[in-house]
Amino acid sequence: MVVLTGVAGCGKTTVGRALADALGWYFEDADAFHSPASIAKMSAGIPLDDADREPWLAAIRARIAECLRDGESTVFACSALRAAYRAALVPAGPSDETRARVRFVFLKGEPGLLRRRLLARRDHFMKTDMLDSQFAALEEPAPGEADIIDAARTVAEITAEIRLRLGA
């Protein structure tokens, strides 16, 4: 499993779909796991808090566990901004083994670039003014915790780089 992480606008969904297509894997977007209340909250410009995110992360963890169990290689797009959120996504199991099967990729982008992307994006509940709160919540993964990739590169370049690092 690959989990693409990072703040809004870094390209999780766009890269995730391209990567899943290139690998012949399934794709799951964490946005589809939010409760209607959380979507309404974000749409109103209010950032989620830990309590909002807890059941959401648990639902994604359950889906990751199913994929691992059923051998369904899947790319997940999930912000997973904090270290505790990333830890919450890894299903229980023989810890090192399970952890090794969930690979985190962090798409690292500058606020100015991501702001421009969100301003240009249409028909999405997550508006540009949420970006500051996304960066405030962000705990960047350490290099050993995730593959860190420059979000400013093209989708094709990022996809190729992730495939290279996966050895795929």
Ligand X SMILES: O=C(O)[C@H](O)[C@@H](O)[C@H](O)[C@H](O)CO
The answer to whether 5 contacts ligand ATP (rule: CB under 6 A) is no
**Which residue lies nearer to ligand ATP by CB, 99 or 127?**
127
How far is Cα 30 from Cα 105, in angstroms, rounded to an integer? 15
**Residue 3 binds which entry of ligand ATP, ligand X, none, CB below 5-8 Å type-dependent:** none
Structure tokens that stand for 112 in this block: 């100015």
135: which 2 tokens?
Answer: 């960066």
Q: Contact 77/12 with Cβ under 8 angstroms?
A: yes
Name the residues that contact ligand X, by CB under 6 A.
8, 30-31, 48, 53, 79, 81, 126
Residue 41: half-sphere exposure toward Cβ, Cα within 13 Å: 12
Which residue from 1, 2, 14, 63 is in contact with ligand ATP, where contact means CB under 6 A?
Answer: 14
Contact predicate 4/76, CB 8 Å: yes
Stretch that binds ligand ATP, among 2-10, 67-75, 88-96, 138-146 (CB under 6 A): 2-10
Residue carrying structure tokens 């994604």: 60
Least Å distance, CB 158 to ligand ATP, is: 6
Give residues 36-75 in contact with ligand ATP (rule: CB under 6 A): none
User: Cα separation of 49 and 73, whole Å?
Assistant: 30
* Residue nearest to ligand X according to CB distances in the complex: 79
Residues near ligand ATP (CB under 6 A): 8-15, 31, 77, 79, 117, 121, 126, 154-155, 158
